[in-house]
């Protein structure tokens, strides 16, 4: 079943909800674009989909940032969300179905209910804790994982992620009995080997849980920027418990049972590897404690690095996505990071690498193919797509290449979240079509086809060959437009228009991945025009 029908569970994908202590950088956009491509892919299959993103607005980090800027935390969040976060997702053509903010009543009320319920079920008790705390991570650290400071920071203990001194916090808090869930979690990981992706991340989590879990402090009483604990309002709920619950509150937990049943739990939580433990340990344990279903998969992406370190807001190494889209365009931006970095691995951005790949893979391989084919259909057939009447072995090979590309891209992107592998499968097919044209030499065939000195039979045969070559190339591009639509929607639409496919086949969004390899989709007679250049030549970067 497909569409938005009730009673069918949506394929539900989430991004982390980002802290709004600053504007978004490439790292945040990386996860969000990946989720957008994944959900667009599933929509292109005709599935019902739900894509959620949002912002994490409580906690000490946000409170301190607001104070430093002389505004209230709420004012700070409102400004950043409206002026930085939402506009960026629009700019990058993120097609999220909802955007949740943790300061919204639809969230805060439900979080209080969830926590009250756990308290009533005796899953929460009052205790004390003292330990090193990293405000950047909003997390108590284990003494064993801290680094020793050097130079200016000699004598300090540093957070391994932020490389900044931790603070020793001592509090009387409420605790969730997380330690009791170790065995149940291990059993669950064992029974669901695909729950944590990639495998290296899975092993790390399993080993961590095997060492024994500590109970989790779920409240704070030394500051007040958070959701009050309902039975003891001197405490606010720990920002991570508050944040994780967004995945439930945004889809109708305790509020809209039909929507909740049709959406929850998430099929894929996309997270950076820095926050994997929260999603793969604490979150399922919280759900188990409530008897709620646990998510299908937690997929950890690697870090975008700058100078060997994780790109981060706190370390001021964040590069703004707009700095790149203004040069390369939004579609190339969406494509680049998924193409260049194996999902799950760390990777670094370099201006040179992006430029080189843009020119060779996008402009030369893909863009030129589209413009050459359109130009030849225009020149030799007046822009009306000819019929293929002389199919032979070479055409059969192209058709087989397409079938392989579709199956491979669908498995890799749709199932395995191997965006790089899926994109490469499509671009290998683009290369194959380029090779086919080079071998078939349509410009030479055209000479015989339109040579007045040749005999009638010869030129007839030549025309049939030429028609077949150009049909084969255009029909291949029809499929490429569909397959790349989730990654580069504007470019695909341009190509779709230039093939005249909108008129003959309808909207690009209505095309199905499953049908993309069905040969002969684009009807002969479609009006092919030399449309907009897909990937304009790059300007010299302004180094000033």
- Among residues 244, 280, 370, 517, which is the contact residue for ligand ME8, using CB under 6 A? 244
Are the beta carbons of 313 and 18 closer than 8 angstroms? no
162 labelled catalytic: yes
Structure tokens, 437: 């044209």
Residue nearer to ligand ME8 on the CB measure, 16 or 265: 16
First and final CA of the chain: distance in angstroms?
A: 55
For residue 269, say whether it is annotated as part of any ligand binding site: no
Least Å from the CB of residue 229 to ligand ME8? 19
349 binds ligand ME8 (CB under 6 A): no
Active site residue 310: yes
Catalytic residue among 269, 273, 279, 313: 313
Distance CA 161, CA 406 (A): 39
Residue 18 or 175 with smaller CB distance to ligand ME8 = 18
What is the contact mask toward ligand ME8 in residues 16 to 45, using x (rule: CB under 6 A)? xxxx-------xx-xx--------------
CA-CA distance, 51 to 41, in Å (whole number)?
12
* Token code pair at residue 540: 């010299």
Q: What distances in angstroms separate CA 455 from CA 35, 88, 311, 465, one per listed residue?
A: 58, 62, 68, 16
CB 26 within 8 A of CB 350: no
Q: What is the DSSP string of 479-530?
A: HHHHHHTTT-HHHHHHHHHHTTHHHHH--GGG--GGGTTSTT-SPTT-B---
Size of the site for ligand ME8 (CB under 6 A): 21
Q: Does 500 bind ligand ME8 (CB under 6 A)?
A: no
Q: Does 313 participate in catalysis according to the annotation? A: yes
Q: Which residues of 84-108 are buried (b: 16+ CB within 10 A; e: fewer)?
A: ebbebbeebbbebbebbbbbbeebb
**Is 77 assigned a ligand-binding role in the annotation?**
no
251 is a site residue for ligand ME8 (CB under 6 A) = no
**Do the annotations mark residue 134 as ligand-binding?**
yes
Measured distance CA(446)–CA(462) in Å, rounded: 7
* Rounded-to-integer distance, Cα 395 and Cα 388, Å: 10
CB closer to ligand ME8 out of 29 and 437: 29
Stretch that binds ligand ME8, among 10-18, 203-211, 225-233, 514-522 (CB under 6 A): 10-18
Please confirm, yes or no, whether 452 is among the known catalytic residues: no
CA quadruple 511, 517, 518, 522: dihedral positive or negative? positive
Draw the binding track, 39-78, toward ligand ME8 (x: CB under 6 A; -: no contact).
-----------------x----------------------
Smallest separation (angstroms) from ligand ME8 to the CB of 32: 8
Choice between 111 and 426, CB closer to ligand ME8: 111
State in angstroms the smallest separation of the CB of 340 from ligand ME8.
Answer: 13
Q: State which of positions 276-335 bind ligand ME8 (CB under 6 A).
A: 301, 303-304, 310-312
- Which of 48, 58, 107, 137 is flagged as catalytic? 137
Closest CB 2 distance from ligand ME8, rounded Å:
29
265 to 284: interface string for ligand ME8, x by CB under 6 A: ------xx-xx---------
Closer by beta carbon to ligand ME8, 312 or else 526: 312
Q: Answer whether 7's CB lies under 8 Å from 236's CB.
A: no
103 near ligand ME8, rule: CB under 6 A: no
Residue nearest to ligand ME8 (CB): 27
What's the Cα-to-Cα distance from 403 to each of 46, 117, 269, 369, 510, rounded to whole Å?
19, 52, 30, 19, 19
Q: Where are the beta strands (DSSP E) in 193-340?
A: 196-197, 216-217, 219-220, 228-229, 232-237, 268-272, 298-301, 304-306, 309-310
Which DSSP helix (H) or strand (E) runs through 14?
strand 11-19
Residues 6+ apart with CB under 8 A from 370: 477, 495, 498, 534
Q: What are the backbone dihedrals phi and psi of residue 187, each rounded to the nearest 5 degrees, phi first?
A: -60, -40
Catalytic site positions: 25, 28, 134, 137, 159, 162, 310, 313
Residue list for the binding site for Zn(2+)? 134, 137, 159, 162
- Interface residues toward ligand ME8, by CB under 6 A: 16-19, 27-28, 30-31, 56, 243-244, 271-272, 274-275, 301, 303-304, 310-312
């Amino acid at each position: 079943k497909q569409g938005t029908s009730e009673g069918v569970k949506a394929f539900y994908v989430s991004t982390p909800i980002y802290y709004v202590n600053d504007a978004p950088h490439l790292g945040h956009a990386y996860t969000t674009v990946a989720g957008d491509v994944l959900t667009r892919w599933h929509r292109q299959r005709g599935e019902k989909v739900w894509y959620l993103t949002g912002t994490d607005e409580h906690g000490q980090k946000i409170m301190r940032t607001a104070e430093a800027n002389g505004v209230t935390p709420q004012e700070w969040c409102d400004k950043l969300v409206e002026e930085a976060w939402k506009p960026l997702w629009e700019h990058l053509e993120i097609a999220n179905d909802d955007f949740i903010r943790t300061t919204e009543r639809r969230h805060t009320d439900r979080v209080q209910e969830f926590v009250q319920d756990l308290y009533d079920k005796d899953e929460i008790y009052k205790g004390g804790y003292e330990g090193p705390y990293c405000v950047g991570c909003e997390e108590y650290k284990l003494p064993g994982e801290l680094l020793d400071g050097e130079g200016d920071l000699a004598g300090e203990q540093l957070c391994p992620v932020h490389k900044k001194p931790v603070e020793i916090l001592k509090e009387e808090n409420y605790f969730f009995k997380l330690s009791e869930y170790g065995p149940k979690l291990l059993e669950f990981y064992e029974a669901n080997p695909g729950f944590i992706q990639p495998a290296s991340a899975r092993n790390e989590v399993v080993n961590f849980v095997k060492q024994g879990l500590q109970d989790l402090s779920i409240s704070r009483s030394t500051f007040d920027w958070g959701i009050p604990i309902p039975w003891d309002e001197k405490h606010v709920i720990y920002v991570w418990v508050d944040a994780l619950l967004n995945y439930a509150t945004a889809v109708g937990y305790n509020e809209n049972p039909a929507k909740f049943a049709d959406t929850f739990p998430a099929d894929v939580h996309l997270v950076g590897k820095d926050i994997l433990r929260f999603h793969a340990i604490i979150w399922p344990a919280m759900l188990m404690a409530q008897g709620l279903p646990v998510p299908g998969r937690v997929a950890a992406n690697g870090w975008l690095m700058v100078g060997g370190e994780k790109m981060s807001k706190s370390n001021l190494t964040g590069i703004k996505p707009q700095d790149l889209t203004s040069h390369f365009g939004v579609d190339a931006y969406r494509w680049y990071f998924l193409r260049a970095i194996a999902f799950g691995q760390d990777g670094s951005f370099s201006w040179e690498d992006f430029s080189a790949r843009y020119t060779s893979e996008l402009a030369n391989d893909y863009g030129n193919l589209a413009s050459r084919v359109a130009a030849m259909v225009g020149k030799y057939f007046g822009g009306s797509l000819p019929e293929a009447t002389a199919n032979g072995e070479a055409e059969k090979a192209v058709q087989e290449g397409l079938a392989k590309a579709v199956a491979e891209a669908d498995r890799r992107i749709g199932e395995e979240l191997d965006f790089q592998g899926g994109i490469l499968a499509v671009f290998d097919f683009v290369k194959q079509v380029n090779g086919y044209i080079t071998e078939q030499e349509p410009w030479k065939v055209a000479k015989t086809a339109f040579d007045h000195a040749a005999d009638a039979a010869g030129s007839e045969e030549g025309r049939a060959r030429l028609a077949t070559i150009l049909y084969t190339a255009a029909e291949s591009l029809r499929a490429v437009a569909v397959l790349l639509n989730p990654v580069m929607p504007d470019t695909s639409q341009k190509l779709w228009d230039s093939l005249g496919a909108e008129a003959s086949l309808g909207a690009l969004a209505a095309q199905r991945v499953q049908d993309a390899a069905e040969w002969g989709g684009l009807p002969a007679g479609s009006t092919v025009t030399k449309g907009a250049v897909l990937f304009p030549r790059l300007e010299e970067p302004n180094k000033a």
